[in-house]
Amino acid sequence: MQHISTRGQTAAMDFQDAVMTGLAPDGGLLVPSAIPDVRDRLGAWAELDYKSLAFEILRLFTDLPDGDLRDLIARSYSTFRHSEIAPVLSAGPVHICELFHGPTLAFKDIALQFLCNLYEYILRRTGGRLNILGATSGDTGSAAIHGARGRERVNIFIMFPKGRVSPLQELQMTTVTDANVHCLAIEGTFDDGQRIMKSIFSDVTFKERHALGSINSVNWARVLAQTVYYFFSAFTVMRRTAAREVCFAVPTGNFGDILAGWYAAQMGLPVRRLILATNENDILARFFNTGVYRTGRTVPTISPSMDIQIASNFERYLFHLLGNDPARIRELMAGFAKTGALSVPLKNGGVDPLFRAGVGNTENALAIIRRYHRSHSCLLDPHTAVGVHVAEQFLEEDAPTICLATAHPAKFPDAIRTALNRDVARHAILDELKSRPARSVTLPASEAAIREYIGKHVS
């Protein structure tokens, strides 16, 4: 499988080169040159456990020997605390797919445990080194750090917006004091960090000199690994309900999680709807309802991982939506860089019939947390609550809805306490963090400051 850039000015490359490249040199995102049709395999795949299913899906896109791929998958998910990796529970009108049983209690572990093992595998074969640069709105940073900590040939630099991630999310990053881990608290927003990261990666000379790689979902391997839980949870629910199609409700800010579902649907998974849920930072919901993608002011909320205005994975979807036309993407993204806006024509009243989109604000999320805890004995984190709120607006009788639970509620105790007036969101792993020493560096949200820091600390 070859991988091409959405902007069409980078030579096609194989999977391992795409992983090491991250952001394409022309500023675009790498995507597979073709999407395999797996409809004739669904029946056989439906009975597989998570690791076996991951192998069958990932081998279609990778160039790794089968034995090596199986070993990478086994090691990546040996750290998870649930035998099913992504178990599915029923809660009233929806099914909840729990994606938070990994080392940092967030869905990002599913992709980042695999990606960091993959990086180490490639570096051992090539004898190279890698300096990972990432930006996080919360969970990506801690999952990446826990995946990369202590690894040979790897340093990791994670930017996070100072004071704009939850205290526990920050502790999950800053209490990892391995010598190869650098936590950078930038005085700005997540969008500032993402802008800095993309600009640095677009400087090919600097990127190559410092052997920079990406763990953000601009890296195709991240999105690919996430497609697996769409298949796994759909098979689980269809077995239980005898349904022939499912819907997915996905809380999203950076568009990577729901994009994985889009790829799964294109491969032939019977998905009737992808229900996109945003909080008050609703740029993506507005796009799917109006065709206009326009940035605004970032609003801090109780679901901070979604407090994003510029979704880094959106360009991949836009590329496919517009017929895989790189010239059109270059034109649109250049205009967006200048004006902060772009638009696409609506068809039959919407952008894409596969998508429905809505907003769950702070009041909505708190109400969902209260109601699901009281009526269904189900404790939801605020991001998942946003997804459930929007899901309830689009329920279909003959296509059950699976809501992706993206984080353990104990990561957001203040929001849970506000909703329930009780301190019920606890986890031993997080409680133990509070006694550990923490380490981070505060820097201005400027590209020059980040470049200087990297230059001084790479090896």
Q: Are strands 401-405 and 246-251 parallel, antiparallel or unpaired?
A: parallel
Distance CA 237, CA 231 (A): 10
Helix (H, G, I), strand (E, B) or coil at 272: strand
Distance CA 309, CA 22 (A): 21
* 108 is a catalytic site residue: yes
Look up residue 97 and give its two tokens.
Answer: 């797919």
Decide: 385 and 375 in contact? Cβ < 8 Å: no
C-alpha distances out from residue 185 to 170, 188, 444, Å: 9, 9, 8
Looking at residue 299, what DSSP letter applies? -
H or E segment to which residue 113 belongs: helix 108-126
Q: Are strands 355-359 and 212-214 parallel, antiparallel or unpaired?
A: unpaired
Q: Which of 51, 108, 338, 347 is catalytic?
A: 108
Distance CA 208, CA 211 (A): 5
For 91, counting Cβ atoms within 10 Å of its Cβ (0-12 exposed, 13-18 middle, 19+ buried), the class is: middle
Look up residue 325 and give its two tokens.
Answer: 């036309």
Cα within 13 Å of Cα(356), Cβ side: 17
Nearest to 113 by CA among 105, 123, 122, 102: 102
Q: Which sequence positions are flagged as catalytic?
A: 108
